[in-house]
């Protein structure tokens, strides 16, 4: 499984638009093949920061997601609305049932 984390910090004047675009992106992404989880949350310590958590079945599913024009458009739109650079981290993981 591939795990992706990311974040965007909006400016006060762009937060509503960033939130709207983020929710649209999450809802669309959930319908893509190989998407296990795609969620966005507001950071409790910085309410201008939205945090994304994604799980994908495999690398191919994630690469297909990145190639979707709407995904590229979303990232491009955030660039003009963000207060700082967006972040993304990608992990190749194996589920551990019990320790």
Mean pLDDT of the chain: 96
Q: Is residue 66 part of a domain?
A: yes
Q: Is residue 21 part of a domain?
A: yes
User: Domain total for the chain?
Assistant: 1
Q: Is residue 80 part of a domain?
A: yes
Calpha distance 65→27 (Å, rounded): 13
Q: Return the CATH number at 19.
A: 3.30.70.100
What are the pLDDT digits (tens) for 1-40? 999 999 999 999 999 999 999 999 999 999 999 999 999 9
Structural domain span for residue 71: 10-87
Q: Is residue 5 part of a domain?
A: no
> Cα–Cα distances in Å, from 23 out to 48, 58, 91, 97?
15, 23, 23, 30
Q: Is residue 44 part of a domain?
A: yes
What does the pLDDT average to over 93-99?
88
**Which pLDDT does position 98 carry in this prediction?**
87
């Amino acid at each position: 499984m591939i795990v992706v984390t990311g974040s965007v910090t909006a400016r006060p004047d762009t937060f509503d638009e960033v939130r709207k675009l983020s929710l649209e992106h999450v809802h669309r992404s959930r319908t893509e093949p190989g998407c296990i989880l795609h969620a966005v949350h507001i950071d409790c310590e910085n309410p201008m920061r939205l945090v994304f958590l994604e799980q994908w079945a495999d690398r191919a599913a994630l690469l297909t997601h990145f190639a979707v024009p709407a995904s590229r458009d979303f990232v491009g739109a955030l660039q003009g609305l963000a207060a700082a650079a967006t972040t993304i981290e990608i992990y190749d993981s194996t589920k551990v049932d019990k320790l």
